[in-house]
Amino acid sequence: MPPDTTVAGLVARIAALPASPHRRVVAVVGPPASGKSTLAHTLADALTQVGTAARVIPMDGFHLDDRLLAEDGTRARKGAPHTFDAAGLVRLIAALQAPQDIVFPIFDRSREMAIAGAGRLPATCRTVLVEGNYLLLDRAPWTELRPHWGLSIALHPPRDILRTRLLHRWDTHGKTRAEAEAWIETNDMLNIETVLTGSTPADITLNEAPT
C-alpha cells in the first residue's frame, strides 16, 4: 500500500514539511460527507501523539449567518461557495504565519450558526490542518488560499456513497426522509459537483479516508 494512502504515511509526510515561516499548514478538502473532518482530526491526533502538536481549523466557521442569507435570498443554497465569508477565511489563513495565538470561529450545527471566538490556536502549535469543501476552489477569492498550503489532501468518495451519508446526516439532525432527499437534490449535490469539478488538483487525492 502506498505510504500516502495510510494515516501513518500522511503523518510522516506532514511532519516532514517545513514550518514556513512559522507554521506548516495542510488543507484537507472534499465535498460534503466525504469524511474530511474526521480525517483532519485523525491526522491531528496522530501527529500530536508522535510529538508534532497539531490542531484543526474548520472552514465551516465562516458560514454566513442565516439572517444574512435570508437578506440575500440565498438561504436555500446554504453551503454553496457564495454563502461563506471567503474573504474572512483568506485573512485568517494568512494570519496563521504570525507567531501568536490565533482565534477563529466554529460552526455549531445543532444551532446552524457560526460562533465567533470559539476556537484558539496557540502560538506554540506549529502544525495546522484546515478542513473544508472549497479550499482548492478555482475561483476568486478562494484561489488566494492555494499559496498557503504546504500540502493538500482531497477526499473524493463516489457520489452514491456521499448521498447515503448525507441521508444519515440529515436524519440525525431531525429532517424527515422527504425533507432530506429534497435538500440533498437541490443543494448538497450541487455543492458536491462544485467541489469535484471546480477545484484545482490536490497534492494527494484519495477515494476514501485512510486507516
Place of cell 437578506: 71
Question: What per-residue confidence (pLDDT) applies to 20?
Answer: 78
The total of other beta-carbon atoms located within 10 Å of residue 54's CB is 25
Domain 3-206 has CATH 3.40.50.300: yes
Question: What per-residue confidence (pLDDT) applies to 111?
Answer: 85
The residue-averaged pLDDT of 55-84 equals 95
CB 146 within 8 A of CB 208: no
Half-sphere exposure in the Cβ direction for 77 (13 Å, CA): 12
CB 123 within 8 A of CB 100: yes
What is the rounded average pLDDT for all residues in the chain?
93
Whether the per-residue pLDDT at 200 is higher than 80: the answer is yes
Using CB atoms within 10 Å of the CB of residue 47, give its burial: 0 to 12 exposed, 13 to 18 middle, 19+ buried.
buried
The residue-averaged pLDDT of 48-56 equals 96
